[in-house]
Amino acid sequence: MRRPNFAHKFTRIGGAKIVLFLCLSAATIQMIVIFSGQTGIGTHAQAVLELSGQWSMWLLVAVLAVRPAQQIYALPVLTRFRRMIGLFAAWYGFIHTLAYLVANEFQWGFVFNEVLIHPFLSTGTLALLLLIPLALTSTDGMVRRLGGRRWRLLQRTVYAVLLVAVIHYILEVRLSPSEPILQAGLIGWLLHYRIIVYWRRRRGRAVALQVGTLIWSGGAWIVLTAVMELLFFHINTGVRLTAVLDSYLNPAGGLRPASVAAIILAIVVLTKIAKTKVATKHD
């Protein structure tokens, strides 16, 4: 079988990057449309604030998911798209902050006071401040200037960004925290995956995890995600634990964070099984 030449590989990857860029730009176009609407500027800013925050948070989760996906499915090419995803996460984080300033008419004294008083604003500001140096040092030139070791050390602060950002999101939507709690569960699983891989590498074992390991580690975080939601609702709203548990058992209650996490895990595991079977047949 003839291997594709360099030009073919470049065209394929370049084309995929263009498609990814257009997909990640979709929300920006949507926000422009929102601001060109008929309602007041405050309404526009609030809509953009919510949309940009959701995109930024999910893209941060996607950045964390790149390496596990690369290792699970043996697709090293995925790392070539991580930088773009991270830059768009920073871009939407910037828009999120800008929308908040617009909604408050750039009253800097008021905004500064609010950031000091409200934990959800304090954590959001901290997440943005931590994200800025990551975005500014994402170029190849900055990698060369900092040196590989120092650059990698700086990039690891993305873990702190994720932690602070998901806390910000949970505090911001305290009465309906299902989405950020799902994100917290996914982040926990993806970090746990990295810990397992680290110890396997230390022991000289294969990096890509087997199906059984994916199931037990993912299953553990699905349970933890459910517990997080149960306790959060109980502590913040006084709702009985049994009432929240009923929503998990009642189909009319909709999909809960742990339910969605279970679906995601099932997709990962089934794809891994299918890929393993294909590889076995070729061997």
User: Are 186 and 239 in the same domain?
Assistant: yes
* Weakest-pLDDT range from 25-34, 63-72, 246-255: 246-255
All residues at 6 or more sequence positions from 216 whose CB lies less than 8 Å from its CB, including other chains: none
Which pLDDT score, from 0 to 100, does residue 150 have?
Answer: 83
Higher-scoring residue by pLDDT: 1, 248: 248
User: Are 5 and 92 in the same domain?
Assistant: yes
Closest CA to 208 of 61, 64, 73, 63: 73
Closest CA to 145 of 71, 182, 136: 136
Query: How sure is the predictor about 40, in pLDDT bands with cuts at 50, 70 and 90?
Result: low
Closest CA to 80 of 130, 34, 1, 14: 14
- Domain final position from 172, 206, 235: 172
User: Are 22 and 110 in the same domain?
Assistant: yes
Range of the domain at 18: 1-172
What predicted TM-score, i.e. pTM, was given to this entire model?
A: 0.85
User: Are 182 and 204 in the same domain?
Assistant: yes
* Weakest-pLDDT range from 35-39, 170-174, 188-192: 35-39
Torsion of CA 52, 57, 62, 65, to 10 degrees: 180
Which pLDDT score, from 0 to 100, does residue 1 have?
Answer: 45
Q: Do 47 and 34 contact (CB within 8 A), yes or no?
A: yes
- Token representation of residue 7: 């030009």
* Weakest-pLDDT range from 3-17, 68-82, 134-148, 237-251: 3-17
> How many other CB atoms are there within 10 angstroms of residue 225's CB atom?
26
Q: Is the predicted pLDDT of residue 232 greater than 70, yes or no?
A: yes
User: Are 226 and 256 in the same domain?
Assistant: yes
Q: For residue 83, which amino acid is it?
A: R
Report, as an integer, the average pLDDT of 168-181: 85
The residue length of the chain stands at: 283
Query: How sure is the predictor about 12, in pLDDT bands with cuts at 50, 70 and 90?
Result: low
Q: Residues of the chain with pLDDT > 70: what percent?
A: 87
Q: Do 114 and 125 contact (CB within 8 A), yes or no?
A: no
The total number of structural domains in the chain stands at 2
- Domain final position from 117, 148, 172: 172
User: Are 123 and 69 in the same domain?
Assistant: yes
User: Are 77 and 185 in the same domain?
Assistant: no
Q: Is the predicted pLDDT of residue 281 greater than 70, yes or no?
A: no
Q: Is the predicted pLDDT of residue 3 greater than 60, yes or no?
A: no
Report, as an integer, the average pLDDT of 258-279: 78
Closest CA to 159 of 52, 56, 68, 63: 63
Digit-coded pLDDT (tens) for 80-137: 899 999 999 999 999 999 999 988 888 999 999 999 999 999 999 999 999 998 888 8
- Domain final position from 112, 139, 172: 172
